[in-house]
A and B are shown apart, each in its own frame.
Chain A
Amino acid sequence: MKLIDYIQGKRRGQEANKLEREAMNDPFLQDAIDGFDAVQDDHVQTIRDLEREIIDKTTKRKPLISHRTWAIGAAASVILILGIGSLLHIGTQKPQNTATTIPKPVVLPPKDTLKKMEPIQEPIKNLVAQQFKKRIVNAQNVNSETKPVNREESEQIKTQEQLNESKNVISVADVADVMSFRQRDTNKPSSIQPNSEKEPIYIENKLNQSNSQVDIANVKASPQFILGKVTDEKGEPLIGATVRFTKQNIGTVTRQDGSFDLPMPNKKSDKIEVSYIGFTKEEVPVSGNSYIIKLKPNPATSEIVVVGHPAERKSDLSGSIRSTENVAYQFNEDEFIKYYKTYHKTDLCNTQKYVLNAKFHLDEYGNPVKIKVTHSPCEEVKQEFIQLLNANRWTKGNRNVSLKIEM
């Protein structure tokens, strides 16, 4: 009898007993049997999946170590293909340019700019998308016989150049998308000329990318990547939320539209952890390519008081942190004396012991006005007192106060 049959539930009779006895002399078998009993699941299915995974992994006839070099090779070839493609593309563009009646000096990009790997700026992307959107409209409105205006044409080439740059940062999956778009487009009977036909291909791709920032669900993410968006309960995007894996040191922050992307984790049991200040942390198990994660506000952190320390005054340093959220807090004579005693400068007038008398009026908002210090050991203490008095608004206004502070 085989272990797999035993797991499958054939656990009765002599055969099963034989296996169990065998297990007594084989700790490996014993551990395995214990394990299958300890966790309830469709073990047979899992084993089949694992077997398939191992076989898939090994029959590619590539040693494990060369996976990375393979990836580098693939990336290099993609860049090469893109480079050649864009060169050809410009090549086809050029004759069209000279064919237009008025030759205009058009500055073509030097070859090496094509290979630059600068990530394209978001606004530029949008700009490109917009310009090409315009182009689509033009291409559809204008018949194939009518030639586009020259000025516009030079602009197209410029944007084409930008596109070529941006293409270099598009992932392999995007390239696949471009390919599929191309096929679909060539099948369609098109009224647009062949050389202008290529452009909508990119546009579609570009537009799709910009759409992904709005509607994640419409995007087919490649299997190596996870796309997602973090929002609050109402669906408003959260900008700058932290997104990371719990078992790997990989993470990112969400963009302006709340979107993020991460590579697929190499552990199946990994989870995506999303945190944002003022919201409860969420952990989402990895099971797919696209996520919309909604965070719930966390009432415990809804009030955060940030207090700064003035650097110059030493005696204020301990004093600048104090609670401001206490609703029942009453500021009156007693509170002020406490406040004064806590926060006043101690090294004034060469004395620690003194009496200070003062009279003042509280206006309707509780601000002290018409301050008269009737007794103080020296001018410095008087100034200190006035400064501290002016720092607070009293709870009850519209009254006169006479104050005596004994130190």
Chain B
Amino acid sequence: MKTNEKISDYSDENLLRAFVESGDICFTGELYRRYIPLVYGLCLKYLNNKEAAQDAVMDIFTVIVEKVPQYEIKNFNTWLYSVAKNHCLHVLRKEKNANLVNINDVVVENHVLLTLTDKPQSQEEMEALTYCMETLPEEQRVSINYFFYEEKSYADIVDLTGYALSKVKSYIQNGKRNLKSCMIRVLKRL
């Protein structure tokens, strides 16, 4: 179709605007299509079942079509994230046998501030970082080192160290949290 060629070049913002102006859901369809891998992955994470996740992806689209005109969306990515996550939590709440404990863990993990990717600014910070790295448990230090300094992917680290993938992820998460609190402690004392 003629519009389809054009549509794929539209930016997210333009697609949103086009939908709000024309009411034609082919714009929302194209916009949502771009986010399907993200949304599907999210649903997989929360619902832990591929059929349920596929249903959710389709249901979320209906929700989006309904809700888009009601909101002034500045960042579609974050907006969609909250809509999709809410939908999944809603589905889980409806299902009695859902494992809600897992979700809380997950949510907490995501609240950890992730600012360490920036390079340390001052000399003190550099020293504090070097010191704190030494205080980390070995697995965490090794994983962090590979990930942040040698720019290895999770899969690379699995190959290099023999740790399980989920372990690598949690070593990096926990290592970062420990590093951060350690650095705050050290820098305050100085």
Contact = CB atoms under 8 A, between A and B. Distances in A.
A35 B110 CA distance: 14
Interface in B6-52: 23-26, 28-30, 32-33, 36-46, 48-52
Nearest to A1: B153
A269 B52 contact: yes
Nearest to A63: B25
Contacts of B77: 26, 28
Contacts of A31: 41-42, 45-46, 81, 85, 106, 110
Interface string B98-117: 00000000100010001001
Given A11-B154, A58-B25, A51 B33 contact: yes
User: Which interface residue of A18, A19, A47 has the most chain B CB atoms within 10 A?
Assistant: A47
B161 to A, nearest CB: 14
Interface of B, secondary structure class, is helix
A16 B157 CA distance: 11
A41 interface: yes
A116 B128 CA distance: 87
B26 A3 contact: no
A54 B43 contact: no
Contact of A268 (B30, B44, B55): B55
Interface string A1-44: 00110010001111111111100111111111111111101010
Contacts of B54: 46, 50, 268-269
Contacts of B166: 37
A25 B43 CA distance: 19
Nearest to B43: A35
Interface in B131-153: 147-148, 151-153
Contacts of B24: 61
Interface string B68-92: 0000000001101100010000000
A28 B57 contact: no
A52 to B, nearest CB: 9
Contact of B40 (A14, A19, A38, A46): A46
Contact of B44 (A20, A28, A35, A64): A35
Given A14-B151, A39-B50, A58-B25, A32 B40 contact: yes
A61 B2 CA distance: 13
A24 B44 contact: no
A220 interface: no
B155 A36 contact: no
B4 interface: yes
B156 A13 contact: yes
B190 interface: no
B61 interface: yes
B184 interface: no
A24 B49 CA distance: 24
A27 B81 CA distance: 8
B182 interface: no
B45 A38 contact: yes
B153 A16 contact: yes
B117 A63 contact: no
B28 A13 contact: no
B44 A39 contact: yes
A303 interface: no
B165 interface: yes
A32 B41 contact: yes
A11 B156 CA distance: 8
A53 interface: yes
B65 interface: yes
Given A32-B40, A39-B48, A21 B78 contact: no
Contact of A59 (B29, B38, B62, B147): B29
A37 B153 CA distance: 14
A28 B78 contact: yes
Given A16-B155, A268-B51, A38 B44 contact: yes
In the complex, which of the residues B54, B80, B148, B159 has the most CB atoms of chain A within 10 Å of its own CB atom? Answer: B54
Contacts of A18: 151
A58 B153 contact: no
B32 A54 contact: yes
B86 to A, nearest CB: 13
Given A32-B42, A36-B44, A59-B26, A3 B37 contact: yes
Interface of B: 1, 4, 23-26, 28-30, 32-33, 36-46, 48-55, 57-58, 61-62, 65, 77-78, 80-81, 85, 106, 110, 114, 117, 147-148, 151-156, 159, 165-166, 169
Interface of A: 3-4, 7, 11-21, 24-39, 41, 43, 46-47, 50-51, 53-55, 57-59, 61, 63-64, 267-269
22 contacts: A17-B147, A17-B152, A20-B147, A20-B154, A28-B38, A31-B42, A32-B38, A32-B39, A32-B41, A32-B42, A32-B45, A35-B40, A37-B165, A47-B40, A50-B54, A54-B32, A54-B33, A58-B29, A61-B24, A61-B26, A268-B51, A269-B49
